[in-house]
């Protein structure tokens, strides 16, 4: 029976000490319903890299806003790069190495040449910060769809040609408030005209 490489939630490793991370890697011996398995993706190596990169960020004393400013990207995208959820370009790699000198050249090289497995573990939805955001999007989802349709037509917001930024503001009573901006290209649904279909299926 072929061995399978399992996927361990990356965010868990970002919060663990090296000793805890090593202990958590013992989970690699078993592949069960709580873990995603991909034969083409060494998630254990990725989790170890994320832990090293996060440690280097802490050593540099940078916030995500600081890092975003040095890289020329949004703060959310800067975090995605470190978490292995976005691909590092060669141009940005040079800026990253300058911003966080403790990141090894091998890790930077891997971030440039490896295609991310963009995914998440369902367990992450149990984290209160995340499930409240998820709840807000789903609760207001139908209303947001209605407004998108009214303003743009029949289509969707892209999550590929997309920018996400997280910030804060101060409310009228002096309280700190979270501001999350989704800025995605509108993609209209097409009418599937036969004349425009350049790859029709064969009919026997």
Residue written as token pair 């069960």: 32
Distance between CA atoms of residues 30 and 38, nearest Å: 13
Active site residue 132: yes
- What is the radius of gyration, based on Cα positions, of the chain? 21
Active-site residue among 4, 58, 158, 177?
Answer: 158
C-alpha distances (whole Å) from 75 to each of 65, 130, 194, 199 are 5, 17, 43, 41
Distance between CA atoms of residues 70 and 3, nearest Å: 41
Active-site residue among 135, 142, 150, 203?
Answer: 135
Kindly report the CA angle at 14 between 12 and 16, in degrees rounded to 5? 75
List of residues 6+ apart from 12 with CB closer than 8 A: 24, 47
Active-site residue among 48, 132, 175, 201?
Answer: 132
Whether 45 and 5 have beta carbons less than 8 Å apart is answered as no
Active site residue 135: yes
Q: Which are the catalytic amino acids?
A: 132, 135, 158
């Amino acid at each position: 029976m072929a061995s399978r490489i399992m996927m361990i939630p990356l965010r868990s490793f970002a919060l663990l000490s090296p000793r805890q991370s090593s202990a958590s890697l013992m989970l690699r011996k078993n592949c069960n319903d709580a873990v995603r398995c991909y034969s083409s993706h060494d998630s254990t190596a990725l989790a170890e890299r994320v832990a090293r990169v996060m440690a280097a960020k802490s050593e540099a004393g940078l916030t995500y806003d600081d890092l975003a400013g040095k890289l020329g990207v949004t703060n959310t995208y800067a975090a995605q790069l470190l978490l292995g959820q976005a691909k590092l370009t060669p141009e940005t790699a040079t800026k990253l190495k300058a911003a966080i000198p403790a990141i090894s050249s091998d890790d930077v090289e891997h971030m440039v040449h490896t295609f991310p497995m963009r995914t998440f573990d369902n367990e992450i939805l149990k984290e209160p910060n995340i499930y409240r955001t998820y709840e807000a999007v789903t609760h207001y989802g139908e209303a947001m769809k209605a407004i998108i349709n009214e303003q743009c037509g029949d289509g969707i917001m892209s999550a590929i040609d997309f920018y996400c930024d997280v910030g804060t503001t101060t409310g009228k009573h002096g309280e700190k408030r979270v501001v999350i901006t989704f800025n995605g290209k509108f993609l209209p649904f097409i009418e599937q005209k036969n004349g425009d279909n350049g790859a029709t299926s064969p009919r026997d």
